[in-house]
Structures are given as C-alpha cells and as structure tokens.
Structure 1
C-alpha cells in the first residue's frame, strides 16, 4: 500500500504553497465534469509523487481509498507505489497510461490511470502530474489525450503568468535605468533568469544570485552587485567595481598536506588545483598577474584561458576574498605554510620541522609550488655548508 506522508493539516499548507494550486481552477474546468460523468477521479500530485488533490464522485473516492489507498497525502511515486501512471509519468517525464495488471501492485489491477507531467516554464523543473483514474472496464484511450491537453493548458497558464511578471520587472527596471549611469545593467527573475539587459548579452542567460551583501560573480569572473526590485521577486543587477566588495574576510588555509580552507569560519571544498592557486597567492600578498600565476601553475607557454577558468571556479567559493587585476587574496590570511616559513626564518627549525608534516602540497607538480616546496625545505633543513659553526669567544 502506498504510504501516507502528511496528515490533513500539513497537506493544507503544502497545497497552499504549491505552484499548481493556482492551476486547479483550470484543471477542474477541463477535467472534472468529464471525470464525474465517466465515473473517474481527477488527481494531481507533486513532483515527489505525493497526492495533493483527489476530486470526483464521492463513491469513487471512497472505493479508491479503500482498495488501494488512493487518497490525498499518500505517496504515489514509483518508490512508494511501484509502476503507476502518476509515478511513472514523473519518472519518465512524459504522458503515460497504465492499464489494470500493468500496475505493479495487485491492489491497483482493477483500475486504469492516465497521467501527464506539468513543467515549470521558467526553470524547466517538474512540478507534478495530472491524472485521470477509473475502473479498468471504463477505461478509454482518449483519457491520455485529455490529461495531456490539461497539463499543457496548465503549463500555458503558468507561462502567461511568467510573461506578465517579466513585463512588470521590465517596467521597474526601465524606471531605474536613468539613475544607474552608463554601467552595464540588467534585471533578472527570482531564479536568476535574465529578463532584460543593457547592453544585450552581457549577463548571458542566467545570473547566479549571491547571498547576503549582494555581491556576486558572473561565470567569467566579472563582479556584479544585485538588489531586490519590486514585489515580484526579481533582482536589479549592475556591474560593480572591485572596491565594491568588502575585504573584511578571514581566510584560513592548510597547505601542508592535502589542501583545506575555511572562509569566515566556514569550511570550503577546495580541489588540489585550488590549493595550488591559494599557495601561490598566499606567498604573494601584493598579488600576481595572470601571466605570473599561469607560469606558477603550468610553466611557460600556458594558455591564459586556463588561468581565468581556474580563478573563476575559485571565486565562486571565495567571493570577494579573491580579486583580479592582479589576482590577490583580499582577506586576513592565516596559513600553516606562512607559519612554518616564519619559524624557519627565525631559526626555530625544530618547531618548523615538526609542523611541516608531509610538506607543501606533496602531490603537486605545479612549477611554482615545487619551487616554493624546495625553498621551504631548504629553510628548514639547510645544506651542511650553509650552517655556520658557533663563534668561540
């Protein structure tokens, strides 16, 4: 039997918040009269397979609930109920009709179901499915065409809503445009979809919306500032200068051994290549040009695009703690590499040796890292002829 996942109170809140709630009048208008005349039920489930609405003749609702637990709040995904039209349409992403014994559960064999998925026109994400369910002896092949048309109508209505929302965002944007100067600007939806931009194309088609502070980065690494605009849930976007980002971050690095990093106390997942970039920049507080950083990572003859792509990926983790022109860590940096180097320069080689562990990024073959590793090792364990004998007084 499909499990029940929510009681009536929780279910009411879920239905109020679900995007398909706004489409229920349309779906009822298209399906309910036909379903009642044919002795069928109209069902709508969420993307996870939970039944949110089951409507139709009372006797059919009672029969469906008694025989197969087909009721609001139960789970009809394939994981919850096996093969069935609602769950299988979710799984395959297209309309499907499941007859009688084609259902996984024997309890559902007396029934035939036709279901079609509904997609969010903005994100393309699956919102749920629309279904007609009735006794298998009363099944009709046109049921599938009917629910497919109803799902298409719901998607079309959502698309019209989206168009009206975009128009309101464009109107608010144009009213603000004169106050933004000549810098590149744009307006995006709640999900980051670009609605309008000036100049056209500078934002691409989608903008990653930053969190607190409103400072973010485009995929190419350009710095942007974002603020909410209007009640529609959209955002105004404009090109920002490096100075707009706050340098007041604390960045802690572990580079002796496998690379690890923490930004403002929060751990970051850094790759070995990220560790190499961080090591090179940590040793150069004034920053490195793209050519210098590329030579440190790849050696002479590197492709500049390789450096830009690596830094772009790292900026998604560090945000304004990593700036360009030159590439530089704009944060209060503490690193085990710097600590060990300071101990060695102060002559405290035993302490430096203990803290060095396996050494600076031991698996790295990046030319700049290899040079730094060799230099650090030489500071900690200098050649014998570099060691001066004690003075005899």
Structure 2
C-alpha cells in the first residue's frame, strides 16, 4: 500500500490516528490535494523578488529582535530559525550552517512556500492556519520527506488589524524538540506583537495630538486601518469602521477625508468636499495640496491634473493620451497613470470620463480669471512664471503660450513700472527687451530696478 493510501486509511478508520491537531491538519491538507510524496516546498519568490518582498514586509523592522531571541539557541542546538509572511513564504532564515544545507534539499529556505495547501501539515503552515503556536514532530508531517524534521512555530498577529502577518519557526533534523522550544517561539512571537502594538500606539498618539488642534465637531478621527481613535464618545461607530476601496471616500458612516496618516470621518450631509489646490506656475516643483496633505507630484501627474482642471467636464483616456503625447500616445499608459493618481487623491479623481470631483483652486485658473477682467497689478502678482515649463505636452504648451502672451500684452498695455518689473523676474521676462526697455524708461534713472534693466539690455 502506498504511503498516501495508508494516510487516508488511518484517517478513515481512526486506527493509529495522530493527535487531534495533526489529524485535522492531515484532513485539510489531503482535501487541498497535497501529494504526500512531494519532494520539496515550491519556490514562490526567486532571488530577484525576495529582497523587495522583505523590505516591504511589516515584520522587517523587527528582524533584529527576532534574530536576537532565537538565533543563539538555534546555533547551539543545530537548528535553524525562520520568519515567514502570512502565506507561509520564507522571508528570512538563519542558524546552523549544516542544518541549512539539509534544509535546502526540502525547500526550507528563502522564497519557498510552507502553507498547508503547499506542503501539508508542518509547523509553519499549521500555525498560520490555526493562529496558535504548534509543534510538529517527525512523522506528524504529511510529506514523507519531512519525517526527519521537527519544528515549533508561532504566528505573529497584527494588533492593529487582527490579521496574521507571518510566522516565526525553529526547525531541526531531530525526532523531537526540547519541550521549551515551542514556549520560546511563542514568547518571541508575543514580543514581536508587543513591538507592533507600541508602534501602533505611537502612531495613534501623533494623530490624536494633531486632531486635538482642530476646531470642535471637526469629525471622527480614524486610523489608516479603520480603527476609531477619537471624536465618538458615545461609541456609535464601534471600535472600527469598514474602509472603502482605494479611489473612493464614501462609506456607510459618512465621508472620509485624508488627515495626515489617517482620516477624518464626517457625516455625509455635513461634509464639505476638500479643495484640490494646484500650484503649477513658475520654475518651482509642481505641488498639489489635498486636505491637510501636501502630496509629491511627478510631472506626468501634474500634466494630467492640469488637463482635467482645464476640461472640467472630463476627458477619456484616448483624449488625455492625445493631449499629452499627440499621435504617439497610448491610452493604456494613461489608465495606469490615472490609477496611481487615484491612489494618492482618492475620490478627488473620478472615471468614465476622467474628471476632478473636488473643488479646484489652481493658480493658472485664477490667472485666467484675472485676465478676463482683473487689473494689471493683480495679474502681475499672480503670474509667477510659465505653466509647467518642463512640460512637452502639445495641449499644455498651447495653454502655456496663450497665458504668456495675454499676460505680457496686458502688462505692456496697462501695467505700471512695478508690474513690468514683477514680470521681468519670470523665466520669459528676464530677457524680454521690450519689457526691460519700458522698465528702464519709466523708473527714475537712480532706481536699482532701472539699473538692473539697463544691465540686462547691455550686449
């Protein structure tokens, strides 16, 4: 009788069945289609990916503490220590070098997958499934190739979200582990959870301090993970709210507005939409401010926001692509950029067609309004330079040139010497002979601005 059939016979008859924890794990593993004769755990993260996966994982900052707690014991007992992600993917491994070489043969190494659905009953996969510390000895493993291994594992559970983040494990090629091993591993996991809780409390406290500076009735303070932190004394919302999908700000409890590393929750009927403030004129870095956040912005995202602000009714991906790239544009590229932009700005950007849902306060739109009827001095103060001067977008270049011509014409026609000098400080005004000649002729000869204008006019 094959090994797999013998396992199934044991489960069916109960004769020679293992303890209940292992029995239940065998059942789950065989129902998942795991082959007991599999030679090794599968590889899920190759060398090109594992470094990025480690860096992004929330347990990465805790690795020194985990290693300090377990590595010496692993070295002395010829065992290895392992830390995995929530799916059982091995992220880090250390310990006895001889044992690590033997572990390589069964895939107990960086990047390999040790969930129950991949390799059946094992310390890592079973601890992740049950959310409890476990020890799995020798023939309790489902895979025959693991019968020379024993392991003790404990899950690490995020105190913020109550989700499993990963697992810490000690394994070795012995028939049994010291009885204290599983207790040591469980204690190490609890230490990691305590560190995570401390970091969570520190984040919460920083948010509360900023929230306490707001006017009364500013909304309910919500952590980035949905926990209710302050502003709900009657506990009407409970401990946590369900957050909407990325790109949306609406949830059953009201409207979420970004607030530093968290959110403010306002009742939908009382909430006023946050303005989107765009500063795109001049030589400086384009900036966008949404709520209390000042967001980093690439030139491409600044170009997209400019076009959506200029075309308030919205644009399709095809139209945006043409306005940005001309005939060489690819709508798929635009869709990818919009997706990234919506992650940053949430409900401020809508789709089908792409359009801005938040009230827009933009320096170039304000300049347009002033050109339609404002006085020259207001125009000179508002115009700090060309619209996105580094942009090569055909549509933005057209809008940039149009603003430049209108500003220059208005100031030459109606502007004072002060207004003309303000324009002379912009990128295009610095070497504008007509502007400089007017400044030199209008201001007193001894005025430092007239002298600077004459110097610029000199060959």
Question: Quick one: structure 1 residues 98 and 214, their matched pair in 2 at CA, closer, same or farther if it must change by over 3 Å?
Answer: closer
Residue equivalent to 1:2: 41
1:225 aligns with 2:245: no
1:25 aligns with 2:67: no
Q: CA deviation at 1:238?
A: 2.4
Query: Does the 8 A contact of 2:80 with 2:171 survive in 1?
Result: yes
Query: Does the 8 A contact of 1:215 with 1:226 survive in 2?
Result: yes
Residue equivalent to 2:262: 234
Query: Does the 8 A contact of 1:15 with 1:21 survive in 2?
Result: yes
Residue equivalent to 2:78: 39
Aligned length: 236
Residue equivalent to 2:97: 58
Match of 2:139 among 96, 101, 108: 101
| Structure 1 segments unaligned to the other structure (5+ residues) | 247-318, 320-393
- 1:91 alignment partner, SS class: helix
**Structure showing greater Rg:** 2
Query: Per residue, is there more strand in 1 or in 2?
Result: 1
Separation in 1, partners of 2:67, 2:119: 25
Separation in 1, partners of 2:235, 2:113: 44
Separation in 1, partners of 2:41, 2:70: 25
Q: How does 1:1-393 map to 2 (within 5 A)?
A: 1-66=40-105, 68-137=106-175, 139-178=177-216, 183=217, 185-210=219-244, 215-218=249-252, 224-230=254-260, 233-241=261-269, 244=272
Question: Quick one: structure 1 residues 243 and 50, their matched pair in 2 at CA, closer, same or farther if it must change by over 3 Å?
Answer: closer
Q: CA deviation at 1:121?
A: 0.2
Residue equivalent to 1:389: none
Question: Quick one: structure 1 residues 40 and 172, their matched pair in 2 at CA, closer, same or farther if it must change by over 3 Å?
Answer: same
Q: Which has the higher contact order (CA 8 A, sep 6+)?
A: 1
TM-score, normalised on structure 1?
0.56
Q: CA deviation at 1:212?
A: 7.3
Separation in 2, partners of 1:184, 1:2: 53
* Structure 1, 203-212 or 36-45: larger mean CA deviation: 203-212
Question: Quick one: structure 1 residues 215 and 109, their matched pair in 2 at CA, closer, same or farther if it must change by over 3 Å?
Answer: closer
Separation in 1, partners of 2:191, 2:271: 49
Deviations along 1:216-269, one digit per CA (max 9) or x if unpaired, are 2435xxxx3322222xx21122234268589xxxxxxxxxxxxxxxxxxxxxxx
Query: Does the 8 A contact of 1:184 with 1:202 survive in 2?
Result: no
Query: Does the 8 A contact of 1:112 with 1:135 survive in 2?
Result: yes
Separation in 1, partners of 2:264, 2:273: 17
Residue equivalent to 1:279: none
Query: Does the 8 A contact of 1:113 with 1:132 survive in 2?
Result: yes
- 1:136 alignment partner, SS class: coil
Separation in 1, partners of 2:271, 2:131: 47
Separation in 2, partners of 1:59, 1:52: 19
Separation in 2, partners of 1:160, 1:111: 35
Query: Does the 8 A contact of 2:99 with 2:173 survive in 1?
Result: no
* Structure 1, 184-193 or 120-129: larger mean CA deviation: 184-193
| Structure 2 segments unaligned to the other structure (5+ residues) | 1-39, 275-346, 348-459
